[in-house]
Structure 1
Amino acid sequence: MKTTDSMLTKITEKLHHSGFKLTPQREATIKIVLEKETEHMSAEEIYLAVKRKNSDIGLATVYRTLEILTDIEVVNKISFDDGLARYDLKKEGDKHFHHHLLCLKCGGIEEIAEDLLELVEQDVEKRFDFQIKDHRLTFHGICKHCQ
């Protein structure tokens, strides 16, 4: 796995390529997203984590940064049953958005890295003459800790 610094460098390059600068506020937000990449945090949770390290940042700035990161495909904005938009770091080299397991008892979210739908996608594209760009799959159930 790549270090946080090298991932930050790649994200910075992507920002610059898209016409954005890496401001201190954006950098602080990106560092939290990188540090907490498996946590599927909401904008408010990211804001609180950033605020603990950098008290000069506002919630609106974090929202704007997350929208930019979504637009340039650094993060995916996802919604689960709790109604909150959550942000998930896009893994380099992934062809598709990864799948999730959502526990209906504790709300825990676990990632599935493998693409489980390759054959289904091929069938859908062929049968319906439809060019698939991406898919999202969330399994709802009870995790092993809550069973």
Structure 2
Amino acid sequence: MRETITTRCRDKGLHMTPRRRIIAEILEASQDHPDVEQLHQRAQARDAAISIASVYSTVKLFEEAGILDKLEFGDGRARYEDADRAHHDHLIDMNSGEVIEFVDPEIEALQEKIATRLGYRLRGHKLELYGVPIKKD
């Protein structure tokens, strides 16, 4: 079983205040890629005293500790996801901003093949696709 964000914070020696713990729990429960404003709204629903500055400082701390990944999809909003998630790629709906996670074995194999052909052993990659929904008549 994968460790929680809260557990990894503790293991890295981060001081977990009650507010940081709430933010960590919200991130753990997130099925989307929330930005700071979304995290702040969710955190305030649990504790109205949590400021946006607290959310900003917490995600920065978690990012610097390697617990969160910061994602930037060109819309001016930094979004966050657990750095310990299974590998996946992203498709970004340019109309709605929705981020769709996917894994495609053919794409994974093609990337390995390209790296090998160019004389490299692939150690990682990040794939972001940007598109608009196909209109159905």
Task: Give the shorter-chain TM-score range.
Answer: 0.7 to 0.9
Distance in structure 1 (CA, Å) of the matches to 2:92 and 2:7:
33
Is residue 104 of structure 2 the alignment partner of residue 111 of structure 1?
A: no
Cα RMSD after superposing both structures: 2.6
Distance in structure 1 (CA, Å) of the matches to 2:117 and 2:57:
39
Aligned equivalent of 1:82 = 75
- Give the counterpart of 2:54 among 37, 61, 71: 61
Is residue 38 of structure 2 the alignment partner of residue 31 of structure 1?
A: no
- Residue 132 and residue 59 in structure 1: after superposition, are their counterparts in 2 closer, same or farther (change >3 A)? farther
Contact 1:14 1:72 (8 Å CA) reproduced? no
- Give the counterpart of 1:42 among 35, 40, 53: 35
- Give the counterpart of 2:9 among 10, 15, 28: 15
- Alignment deviations for residues 78-125 of structure 1 (CA, whole Å, 9 cap, x no partner): 011311100122344x3x4x2111112222211114563344246426
Contact 1:101 1:111 (8 Å CA) reproduced? yes
Moved more, 132-141 or 115-124: 115-124
Contact 2:6 2:25 (8 Å CA) reproduced? no
- Alignment deviations for residues 10-56 of structure 1 (CA, whole Å, 9 cap, x no partner): 32332122221221111111121122x22211111101210121012
Q: CA deviation at 1:126?
A: 6.2
Moved over 4 A (4+): none
Q: Percent identity?
A: 24
Aligned residues: 135
Query: Under a length normalisation based on structure 2, what TM-score does the superposition of the two structures give?
Result: 0.79
Distance in structure 1 (CA, Å) of the matches to 2:37 and 2:113:
38
Distance in structure 1 (CA, Å) of the matches to 2:42 and 2:21:
13
Gaps of 5+ in 2: none
Distance in structure 1 (CA, Å) of the matches to 2:126 and 2:10:
28
- Residue 118 and residue 83 in structure 1: after superposition, are their counterparts in 2 closer, same or farther (change >3 A)? farther
Moved more, 74-83 or 109-118: 109-118
